Amino acid sequence: MKTLVWVEHDGKTVKDATLAVVTAATKLGEVDLLVAGSGVDAVAAEAAKIAGVSTVLTADNAALEHPLAETVAPLIVKLMSDHDAFLAPATSNGKNIAPRVAALLDVMQISDILSVESEDTFTRPIYAGNAIATVQTKDAKKVITVRGTAFEKAAAEGGSAKIVSTDGAGLEQSVSTYVGSEIAKLERPELTSAKVIVSGGRALASSENFHAVIEPLADKLGAAVGASRAAVDAGYVPNDYQVGQTGKIVAPEVYMAIGISGAIQHLAGMKDSKTIIAINKDEDAPIFQVADIGLVGDLFKIVPELTSKL
Amino acid sequence: MKVLVPVKRVLDYNVKPRVKADGTGVDLANVKMSMNPFDEIAVEEAIRLKDKGVTEIVAVSIGEAKSQETLRTALAMGADRAILVVSDEKVEPLGVAKLLKAIVDAEKPDLVILGKQAIDDDNNQTGQMLAGLLGVGQATFASKVELTSDSVTVTREVDGGSETEKLSLPAIITTDLRLNEPRYASLPNIMKAKSKPLDQKTPADYGVDVTPRLTTLKVVEPPKRTAGVKVADVDELVAKLKAMGVAK
């Protein structure tokens, strides 16, 4: 099988999410990458070094600076004439683009796969991760999104793929236009790739407390900062901090849940973490049923003490 | 201006799903079912657009006959009429998107607002597939919608922040959680909803083949986490963190 992998990038470098998808793709056969964007030479050169990649296809066009699904889906469909599968990371971009590609190819997408069982069989979580389904596809072409935390990252160095320019010219924005974006400034590690995550919940009670209590601990541990939906909805932190079924799915080595009760929607986003540590004053909080290490008590006393002792 | 809002009947989000012992799926017998939470947000958004030029809201559901209850909920919230496409077989997002395309072709809505994903299959595909089949613009994971007579400007939640796009009408929008806070249907409105029109159709009426492309071989419970330990104080926690190599 020959697979085409969507390269997630920010115009400058390849994002980590891509590497896990390459690992999934190598289980299916030969791997080609697609770098779509505007002025993507540097990204393509970096992508060509990823181990296990045969060819890096570039689609370089001003219309692709902000790759809208409407613009890139027809391009991918064209490239699929000589590929058997299209794989994208289950990021907001991948989730936006891949189903449109699938519909244009008249195939059923397999979302957010956790494993490749064989060429046509995959596992994926359903019901907020409360069940794992093994699904087999009858479609000749496959469109798949990959859960980044479920696969090892392919080595970013060591490969020497050839770079081939595809017909990125002649692309035009049609029905939709990009207006602008607001990307939150992050001085800490990115949530989805962090080794350690410190997450705060409703019990923090205010944005000030969140910054004063959670962030110093995160900085002490070199950790990314996450949040439950309750903390986001209450406005303590921006919504891209949210971990859960409707936010980001993470699987760090250590996940510290502070003042988070552990609703199933939150657990769906973090229960594959290697070690879960919970700090909560309610000893019956559901989070303690999944936590490897629990500490019952007032977070406003415990967390500053913990920070000072590290 | 007409808005179409597809809604799905799913296991209530507060219910913990139980995997059937024979591995065929999740047990849905005698459990509470509700409207998919993202679809409630879609219905709410359509209603809020009523003072921005929207004159008619059509709610659609595809599934077993009981999905009628879900449509009645949408009608009680403020939708004007409903279409139920009855299928006892499970219809996959691709089939749903094809049925919705047929309904869009017949109804000619200016906007279709869907939830970004259903909390049972967690697919996050239908809206994008529908947009692809129709060849119209898509704004997924919407957190803000501004409608004018010929376009819609949508702020979308993306990894790292938000992004704004402007789409020509007709267009497809899928809702994220933060778009709005859905209203509760009042008792008088629930009563009134009982007399609002609800058309029943079948996939065959639209000439759409909804044969599944995917076969579910088995459904299992996720690996259980082993029981943890509770530590007594911060010093003990610090020692554990050091033992794991997380702290120096």
pLDDT digits (tens, 9 = 90+) for B11-49: 998 898 999 999 999 999 999 999 999 999 999 999 999
Q: What is the pLDDT of residue A169?
A: 62
Q: What is the pLDDT of residue A170?
A: 63
Does residue B190 have a pLDDT over 90? yes
Q: What is the pLDDT of residue A174?
A: 67
* Dist. CA A98–CA A76, nearest whole Å: 9
Instruction: Please report the residues numbered 27 through 86 in chain B whose beta carbons come closer than 8 angstroms to any beta carbon of chain A.
Output: none
Q: Determine phi and psi for A43, rounding to 5 degrees.
A: -65, -40
Q: Are B34 and B12 in contact (CB under 8 A)?
A: yes
For residue range B73-114, what is the model confidence (pLDDT) as tens digits? 999 999 999 999 999 999 999 999 999 999 999 999 999 999
Q: Above pLDDT 70, what percent of chain B?
A: 100
Sign, CA torsion B176/B178/B184/B185: negative
A115 touches chain B (CB under 8 A): no
Check CB contact under 8 Å for B159 and A248: yes
For residue range A117-170, what is the model confidence (pLDDT) as tens digits? 999 999 999 998 999 999 999 999 999 999 998 999 999 999 999 999 997 666
The question of ipTM being above 0.85 is answered as yes
Q: What is the pLDDT of residue B159?
A: 85
Res. A172 pLDDT band, cuts 50 70 90: low
Select the residue of B124, B127, B229 nearest A293 (Cβ to Cβ).
Answer: B229
Average pLDDT on A195-202 reads: 96
pTM recorded for the entire structure: 0.93
For residue range A83-114, what is the model confidence (pLDDT) as tens digits? 999 999 999 999 999 999 999 999 999 999 99
Check CB contact under 8 Å for A131 and B228: no
B160 touches chain A (CB under 8 A): yes
Check CB contact under 8 Å for A108 and B130: no
Q: What is the pLDDT of residue A178?
A: 86
Q: What is the pLDDT of residue B245?
A: 83
* Dist. CA A136–CA B214, nearest whole Å: 5
**What single DSSP character describes residue A272?**
T
Q: Determine phi and psi for A97, rounding to 5 degrees.
A: -85, -50
Average per-residue pLDDT for chain B:
95
Average pLDDT on A190-205 reads: 92
**DSSP reduced 3-state for B180:** coil
Q: Determine phi and psi for B101, rounding to 5 degrees.
A: -60, -45
Q: What is the pLDDT of residue B46?
A: 98
Check CB contact under 8 Å for A92 and B125: no
Helix, strand, coil shares, percent, chain B, to 5: 30, 30, 40
Res. A184 pLDDT band, cuts 50 70 90: confident
Beta-strand pair A293-296/B229-231: parallel
Check CB contact under 8 Å for B234 and A93: no
For residue range B108-129, what is the model confidence (pLDDT) as tens digits? 999 999 999 999 999 999 999 9
The two tokens of residue A6 are 């969507």
Q: What is the pLDDT of residue A141?
A: 97
The two tokens of residue A68 are 């809208």
Average per-residue pLDDT for chain A:
93
Secondary element (H or E) of residue B93: helix B93-107
Does residue A175 have a pLDDT over 80? no
Res. B160 pLDDT band, cuts 50 70 90: confident
* Dist. CA B57–CA B49, nearest whole Å: 10
Instruction: Please report the residues numbered 240 through 279 in chain A whose beta carbons come closer than 8 angstroms to any beta carbon of chain B.
Output: 240, 245-246, 248, 253-254, 264-265, 271, 275-277
* Dist. CA B164–CA A2, nearest whole Å: 35
Secondary element (H or E) of residue A57: strand A55-60
Q: Above pLDDT 90, what percent of chain A?
A: 82
Select the residue of B126, B215, B237 nearest A293 (Cβ to Cβ).
Answer: B237
Q: What is the pLDDT of residue A168?
A: 67
Does residue B178 have a pLDDT over 90? no
Average pLDDT on A288-306 reads: 95
